[in-house]
Amino acid sequence: MVRTLYSAVSRGTESLVFNGRVPASQYAAMRAPFQEGDFPGPVKYGYLNVGQVEAGPPELTGRTVFSLYPHQDRFTVPAAAVTPVPENVPPERAVLAGTVETALNALWDAPPRIGDRIAVVGAGLVGSCVAALLSRFPGLRVQLVDTDPARADLAEALGLTFARPAEAVGDRDVVFHASATQDGLVRSLELLAPEGSVVDLSWYGDRPVSLPLGEHFHSRRLTVRSSQVGAVPPSRRGRHTLADRLRIALELLADPVFDALITGESRFEELPHVMAEIAANRLPGLCHRIRYDPA
């Protein structure tokens, strides 16, 4: 039995679910681990939950834990479905674990190398988590690219340079794309050096995406590859399980730099209105945290 302390809204995915934009072909793939109901809806959805174990095995009782459970004040799950939050990670920040895990998986898909020139296109929550992890690597030249000039403050907080898409510096070895827009993906290809790769973390739902593959794509031998958190990359599967990856993500959240990614908070009782505002793009920001006040 877990009493929720905080949950967080995964803006991109939860907005697609809220607006009924999950393609029928992806109904099975897009199910949340503890989802109730079926697409297109109504469904109970979400997967960023931090709570305190009120009843369970002695080694877990009283512990703060992260789980992939939807927005709910209390719930019961198998003990294997929760991961203890390290003592040096505040529960308020631990709600980012699922998104940091997504970013970690992307870096495993395209491991950065010392001296690489990298761009992160799309400074939403996923892109910002990728940028925050890249800021830890020595010898990288990383640029955060977004259409919103206000994201320059975030780039500064992460110790990175910032550019609007038209001013972004090209000749990049790797571009991590997380804008979930066709224009962002096209610009990501344009920024690549010969033999470079775009790692696409965006989820487009039922929207078609067109790319200019008749321009430099073949002559520069460019690569576009997907990155999706549902599986550990093949190069890591022999050493890391899904549980290992989540534990690593939680350990990485000991760094207070991640606090810059939490830009709003509401009470659980306000979530119906807040989710409607987020899904309609009327409530901007990065991670919107949901607080559960004690009963």
Summarised one tens digit per residue, pLDDT across range 145-202 is 999 999 999 999 999 999 999 999 999 999 999 999 999 999 999 999 999 999 999 9
Q: Give the number of other CB atoms < 10 A from CB of residue 280.
A: 11
pLDDT score at 216 = 86
Eight-state DSSP code of residue 99: H
Angstrom distance (rounded) from CA 145 to CA 167: 9
Q: Do 283 and 277 contact (CB within 8 A), yes or no?
A: yes
Instruction: Enter the tokens of residue 46.
Output: 């979400």
Q: What average pLDDT does the segment 272-276 reach?
A: 96
CATH 3.40.50.720 fits 102-226, yes or no: yes
What residue ranges do the domains of the chain occupy? 2-96+253-291, 102-226
Angstrom distance (rounded) from CA 91 to CA 19: 29
Q: Do 33 and 15 contact (CB within 8 A), yes or no?
A: no
Summarised one tens digit per residue, pLDDT across range 38-71 is 999 999 999 999 999 999 999 999 999 999 999 9
Topology of domain 2-96+253-291, CATH = Quinone Oxidoreductase; Chain A, domain 1 (3.90.180)
pLDDT of 266 strictly over 80? yes
pLDDT of 295 strictly over 80? no
